[in-house]
């Protein structure tokens, strides 16, 4: 079963995480997970630039180390870079101590590309996996950001048209929308992103960083 819209029990369980943002205007928070990679991230930047849209990239530390220039480029264009662990590890598979190392290594990679040293530190757990122990360990230093719209762009069994239609149906002012600058999501993303930007832009929405 796919939950394009976040089931209300999750925000209730993890109340300190951000699931959507309180806004009084038509604002959306687009987020891109798992990059940066040269195959997809430049396309995302191009599309965002066409709408003067700003977004948040939850980066994998290893990718930051491989493609630091791409990360710097995103930052130079006014986007926000945030933490998605060093190797995209699942919280349910590793101890809080190991998880912490993963988060810190990613943070170091972020700081190397000139990001993350100032302002709030945002973190999104890979696969949305978290436990209270992991959350408590992160909380003093990081603001955990989940989502209210999951596009399932990474799901190749989902047609791009369906992916777009479902995303549009559940997105509202203040929604935090998850997309992926990853190879797995590439087919759906290349279809969905330009149309999503156009659709909400035509309705008067603007796109901001968290
Ligand atoms: Zn991820």
Summarised one tens digit per residue, pLDDT across range 156-195 is 899 999 999 999 999 999 999 999 999 999 999 999 999 9
Summarised one tens digit per residue, pLDDT across range 7-24 is 777 777 787 889 899 999
Please give the average per-residue pLDDT across 93-111, as a whole number: 95
| Rounded distance from Cα 34 to ligand 1 centre (Å) | 5
Q: Is residue 11 part of a domain?
A: no
| Rounded distance from Cα 84 to ligand 1 centre (Å) | 7
Top pLDDT among 197 and 139 is at 197
| Rounded distance from Cα 121 to ligand 1 centre (Å) | 17
| Rounded distance from Cα 30 to ligand 1 centre (Å) | 14
| Rounded distance from Cα 33 to ligand 1 centre (Å) | 5
Has residue 106 got a pLDDT over 80?
Answer: yes
Report whether 141 contacts 116 (CB < 8 A): no
pLDDT on residue 14: 80
Q: pLDDT-based confidence at 120, cuts 50/70/90?
A: confident
CATH number for position 202:
3.20.20.370
Q: Is residue 90 part of a domain?
A: yes
| Rounded distance from Cα 172 to ligand 1 centre (Å) | 23
| Rounded distance from Cα 193 to ligand 1 centre (Å) | 17
Report whether 110 contacts 86 (CB < 8 A): no
Q: Is residue 81 part of a domain?
A: yes
How many domains would you assign to the chain? 1
Report whether 85 contacts 106 (CB < 8 A): yes
pLDDT on residue 147: 94
Top pLDDT among 5 and 102 is at 102
Q: Is residue 2 part of a domain?
A: no
Q: Is residue 56 part of a domain?
A: yes
pLDDT on residue 131: 87
| Rounded distance from Cα 104 to ligand 1 centre (Å) | 16
Domain holding 199, by residue range, is 19-207
Q: Is residue 143 part of a domain?
A: yes
- Separation of alpha carbons 150 and 14, rounded Å: 17
Q: Which two tokens stand for residue 205?
A: 């929405």
45-49, 115-119, 163-167: least confident range: 115-119
């Amino acid at each position: 079963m796919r939950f394009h819209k976040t089931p209300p029990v999750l925000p209730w369980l993890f109340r300190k995480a951000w699931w959507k943002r309180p806004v009084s205007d038509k604002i959306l928070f687009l987020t891109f997970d798992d990059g940066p990679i040269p195959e997809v991230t430049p396309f995302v930047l191009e599309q965002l630039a066409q709408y003067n849209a700003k977004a948040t990239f939850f980066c994998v530390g290893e990718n930051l180390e491989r493609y630091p220039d791409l990360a710097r480029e995103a930052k130079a264009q006014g986007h926000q870079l945030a933490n998605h662990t060093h190797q995209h590890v699942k919280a349910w598979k590793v101890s809080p101590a190991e998880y912490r190392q993963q988060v810190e290594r990613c943070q170091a990679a972020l700081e190397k590309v000139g990001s993350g040293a100032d302002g709030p530190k945002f973190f999104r757990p890979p696969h949305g996996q978290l436990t209270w122990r992991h959350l408590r360990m992160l909380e003093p230093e990081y603001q955990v950001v989940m989502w209210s719209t999951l596009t399932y762009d990474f799901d190749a069994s989902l047609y791009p048209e369906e992916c777009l239609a479902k995303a549009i149906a559940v997105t509202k002012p203040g929604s935090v929308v998850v997309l992926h600058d990853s190879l797995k999501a590439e087919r759906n993303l290349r279809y969905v992103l330009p149309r999503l930007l156009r659709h909400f832009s035509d309705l008067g929405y603007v796109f901001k960083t968290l």
